[in-house]
Chain A
Amino acid sequence: MAKNLMKGCEAIAEAAIQAGCRYFFGYPITPQNDIPEYMSARMPKIGGCFLQAESEVAAINMVYGAAGAGARVMTSSSSPGISLKMEGISYIAGAELPCVIVNMMRGGPGLGSIQASQGDYFQTTKGGGHGDYHMIAYAPASVQEAIDLMQTAFDVADKYRTPVMVLADGIIGQMMEPVEIKENTGNAPKKDWATTGWKKGERARAVVNSLYIEVEDLEEMTERLQARYRQIEKDETLVECYNTDGAEFILCAYGTVARICKTAIAQLQKQGVKAGLVRPITVWPFPAKAVHDAMCAPGVKMALCVEISAGQMIEDVRLAVNGEREIAFLGHAGSRVPTAEEIAEKVLAMRGA
């Protein structure tokens, strides 16, 4: 497919369709409205289903139902709407069903703002919903990467029968960039566990359930999940190390902020300061080893974590480094985006201190 000029939201929606998604259930909220808008135009043309639900809670439970029937299905929302979906996400995790949820983060808490934010890191990586579950979460740093990760998200969701989140922000959602979307790469595996009707002798009955009254039964399920999570940590962790070899300063950031950090690194380079970036592409599983190795390498003098939050991912960075190095923080709670100049100045100030 030739390059097109697309907003992040539109590109994510089209990438999902090309990945084989034919069911979209959602409810409007800025700054992700362009996803349902796009889906509402495209789905009827390709025999898919777009449904604007009566609420976010209804939408995620429709996702639960469609996933149980074996469909490639997704929903999208933005921070407050994702909070509403959390109960359903926990049920989907408990019922071991695959689906993709897109969160275009906006400022919070509460209704917050309609500008970008990274305030949902805790919600995404530390549960959000109830119970001992995890959700794989991809954090794209460009519109093109968001497209590519949509395909991965659907494949990985099916592979592990787990909900997967694409954790972007209002900037990724609203920025328009020239991008390329690969056509029809969708290749869902056979789902013999799906509730698609049963004939005697054909297979065991498929049951979608997250309720286990017997303690032993629940433990068996949660142990199965935990074993799967260990496998995911081993095989699905994604990270980018940028300019880290021989760097004096290591920055850690994800998503949009990581891209701003790269501009700051280029500015610092001009002033003779060598800085590098370690960028988690999956925020769960967190690339703890790569972050540790980048920040604790010999020759690294200081480390800085940059976020559009009051400091959320920094907790995982500190756990990864485990006291071997002090981690400084630069960020703004709410929606104020750190600028490249601000990041470069912070590094220079740390250097002088």
Chain B
Amino acid sequence: MKQFYVLIGNFGSGKTEISLHIALDAAKRNKKVVMVDLDVINPYFRLAERKKEIEAAGIKLLHPNFAYATVDVPSLPPDIYSVFIDKSDVVVFDVGGDPAGATALGQYKPNFEAIEAGQLEAGQLQVLCVVNPRRPFSATAELVLDMLSKIQLRSRLSINGFINNGNLSTETTAEDLRLGYDVLKRVADTTGIPVLYTAGRAAPLREFLDGKPDARYIGQVLQITTYMHRDWDNFTRYGI
């Protein structure tokens, strides 16, 4: 059964990091995985930068034609359509940030509708909104709700669930996940859209879960390794 994951959310919320986690995890389980870098917003910090590592893991990567070529021409290659008919098991769409980035998804609406209508197989599509309340314009339930409505409008897709990715990068504590939990609890209660995942590095994740938060707002736990984020000790290797 083919599984589509579409990750959307605010700029810098951690979509690419979590996309990589989902894809690498599936590849480890011997699934045939395709990743789609659909970011037409940001020339930096994108999947295409990790092409070598992604392909080394046996994952196929599709990305905008000039991604990481330091050319600001965000044109999408036609072979992205192949993911809707190919023989892969898992497809991960890593979408550009903010409502502007979600616009690039709109053109695939008929294809996603075909999945939802069961013309492929039912229940295979998860459109996930990544939220980090420590990022600008995500700190409160009101801000997340505002972003949500704009992203749904632009992407022409309905969001199935949230990913709590509360973090302060290298300084993350359980408190950041708790803030994400509080914000998303309110959003979930208002919209009826569930929290499907809670993501974080091992230590803060464990401490947060030890506090016995209500399991209905946790979903599946994703313990992630950081692939994308640069700290000052490794950015000279990758550039920005």
Contact = CB atoms under 8 A, between A and B. Distances in A.
User: Is chain B found bound to chain A in the same assembly?
Assistant: yes
A259 B235 CA distance: 12
A260 B12 CA distance: 24
A10 interface: yes
Interface in B131-175: 132, 134-137, 139, 167-171
Given A4-B135, A41-B137, A178 B168 contact: yes
Interface residues of B, number: 27
A303 to B, nearest CB: 22
A175 B240 contact: yes
Contacts of A176: 12, 169, 229
A178 B239 contact: no
Given A3-B168, A5-B167, A30-B43, A339 B236 contact: yes
A3 B139 CA distance: 11
B43 A10 contact: no
Given A38-B136, A175-B230, A178-B171, A338 B236 contact: yes
- In this complex, the interface size class of chain A, counting residues with CB under 8 Å from chain B, is 20 to 34
Given A14-B136, A176-B229, 4 more contacts: A30-B72, A41-B137, A115-B70, A178-B171
A7 B170 contact: no
A171 interface: yes
B212 interface: no
A340 B236 contact: yes
Contacts of A177: 169
Overall SS of chain B's interface: loop
Given A114-B70, A175-B240, A4 B169 contact: no
A242 to B, nearest CB: 15
A3 B230 contact: no
B89 to A, nearest CB: 32
B81 interface: no
B233 interface: yes
Contacts of A237: none
9 contacts: A5-B134, A5-B167, A30-B43, A31-B240, A174-B240, A263-B232, A337-B235, A338-B236, A339-B236
